[in-house]
Structure 1
């Protein structure tokens, strides 16, 4: 017989996430079992796995948001705006809003510490980056207006974005404040887009952009 309030809807999913985050932040990801999360949330382990196929997805749950942002940057960009420019605008908008995916949200510091302390979460984060790279390359393949190297652009963008996040995460964990490193964080993203523009993407006229 289902436990009290055990349903398959978004409220159940949100409750499971809230409980999982609290337990993982309090005790560390590897010290908490899915059964403990289920018990605290008042659901069965089967229900937890129905919403989150992997334990790691109980903590790294923003992959769907990242996918939607990538797809929107390609599909919904304004006429005359190429993909690198749209990716740049999306990235800097996240930074300016201190979005959790920007890497400079002060509220994310406990999250970053928990990820860094868990080999399982670090490995899952790498898998997610690989998935995002594949999805971006597929979006570019469907875009008839993109004339650059789709595979390289997707690989360089995702790897570069992750490199900026990892560097900033290490500094935040070491005790630097988000405000103190914000300018450098933003500047490193800008250097990433200069590299993308000069290396793998055509300019807006369809010609390969020069390094200068």
Structure 2
């Protein structure tokens, strides 16, 4: 089925959002999060403060400007997975496709330093993915035919959503993501002590 063309209005809206997000991140990296106000961001993006708030719910959201479609993408990973693919495999691929590209971004070190040095951003980052727990657990529950508030589905969704935080800072992020999904799929086993030579 062909994808309908994006209207000029939608392209302009997306370009404005991108310009605001880019201006905000640049200012935050240059001056620090607490030293930048919404007026500074609006001026740098050449828009009004009302336009900033039309596109972003608050100052924290400006740092994480790619978060808008995360929930629908998570649900699509479960519901629109390939025939025969388990929803855990589909979610693993989704996390690898989305999070690893962010982890490899050239400004990643500066961005992480900004987030880690700003308590309000650290807290927001922790909540950012996990706030989708209810929607993701309902999609999983629907796929296996149980009640939407099934505790096993809620726990599984929460663990999946915590994976980027758990894998952050690991030497091999891909291996960390795969190991955690392996635990979710096959259960936890105690690590073995290395054999003595």
TM-score (ref. length: structure 1): 0.72
Q: Is the 8 A contact 1:77 1:86 kept in 2?
A: yes
Q: What are the ranges of 5 or more consecutive residues in structure 1 without an aligned counterpart?
A: 1-7, 169-180, 200-209
Match of 2:25 in 1: 21
Whole-angstrom CA distance in 2 between matches of 1:146 and 1:69? 22
The alpha-carbon distance between structure 1 residues 14 and 90, as it changes in their structure 2 partners (threshold 3 A), is: closer
Q: Is the 8 A contact 2:29 2:111 kept in 1?
A: yes
TM-score (ref. length: structure 2): 0.77
Match of 1:37 in 2: 41
Q: What are the ranges of 5 or more consecutive residues in structure 2 without an aligned counterpart?
A: 1-11, 190-197
Match of 1:139 in 2: 139
Whole-angstrom CA distance in 1 between matches of 2:67 and 2:146? 24
Q: Is the 8 A contact 2:24 2:63 kept in 1?
A: yes
Match of 1:192 in 2: 180
Whole-angstrom CA distance in 1 between matches of 2:127 and 2:159? 16
Whole-angstrom CA distance in 1 between matches of 2:115 and 2:83? 39
Q: Please identify runs of 4+ aligned residues in structure 1 that moved more than 4 A.
A: 144-148
Q: Is the 8 A contact 1:83 1:146 kept in 2?
A: no
Q: Is the 8 A contact 2:77 2:87 kept in 1?
A: yes
Q: Which has the higher contact order (CA 8 A, sep 6+)?
A: 1
Q: Is the 8 A contact 1:116 1:122 kept in 2?
A: yes
Query: Equivalent residue of 2:115, what SS?
Result: helix
Whole-angstrom CA distance in 2 between matches of 1:106 and 1:10? 23
Q: Pairwise CA RMSD of aligned residues?
A: 2.6
Is residue 159 of structure 2 the alignment partner of residue 156 of structure 1? Answer: yes
Q: Is the 8 A contact 1:92 1:186 kept in 2?
A: yes
